[in-house]
Amino acid sequence: MSRRRPVLATALTAAASLAALSVLPASAQESGPRPAGDHLTVTVSHAGGGADGTRELYCHPARGSHTDPRGACDALDKLTRWGKDPFAPVPADSMCTMQYGGPATAQVKGVWAGRPVDARYSRTNGCEIDRWKNLTPVLPDPKG
């Protein structure tokens, strides 16, 4: 009979702990750390039109201080393909037009699809302008 008491005590303690957790308010339950996932920090400079600044983007579900989290996450989901990096730089041997798209620059840093991201963007030639446009609305449409 002495063996039953520790088992019974353990079972009662576990049940009481679960009951206490189930009555916590939703805000207390959500305040803990979120599971790791897709998170990007997008920093934009010299874009004009109020687009400059640093914004946080979380996807799956879409949220954060980004101006359009759902649109940005949807765009990234469409660009993400096996074997293709949506943040890849312009290849060094690319032939790009001598076109200046303005002084806007951006950095995207974080984790996407389980991989680290640290990409820099500019609008210094036609290739870089296209690369920037391909990442809209993650990156803003520069007004300059």
Residue 11 has pLDDT above 70, yes or no: no
Task: Report, as an integer, the average pLDDT of 75-100.
Answer: 94
Task: Report, as an integer, the average pLDDT of 114-142.
Answer: 96
Residue 83 has pLDDT above 60, yes or no: yes
pTM above 0.75, yes or no: no
- C-alpha to C-alpha distance for 7 and 31, rounded to whole angstroms: 33
Residue 24 has pLDDT above 80, yes or no: no
- C-alpha to C-alpha distance for 79 and 137, rounded to whole angstroms: 12
Measured over the CA atoms of residue 120, residue 100, residue 135 and residue 68, the dihedral's sign is positive
Chain-centre distance for alpha carbon 136 = 14
pLDDT in the model for residue 121: 98
SS3 state of residue 45: strand
pLDDT in the model for residue 2: 52
CATH code matching the domain that covers 37-134, chosen among 3.40.50.300, 3.30.350.10, 3.10.200.10, 3.90.950.10: 3.30.350.10
* Structural domain boundaries in the chain: 37-134
Q: What is the pLDDT of residues 53-73, one digit of tens each?
A: 999 999 999 999 999 999 999
- Work out the pLDDT band at 3, boundaries 50, 70, 90: low
SS3 state of residue 115: strand
- Work out the pLDDT band at 5, boundaries 50, 70, 90: low
Confirm if 131 and 121 have CB atoms less than 8 A apart.
Answer: yes
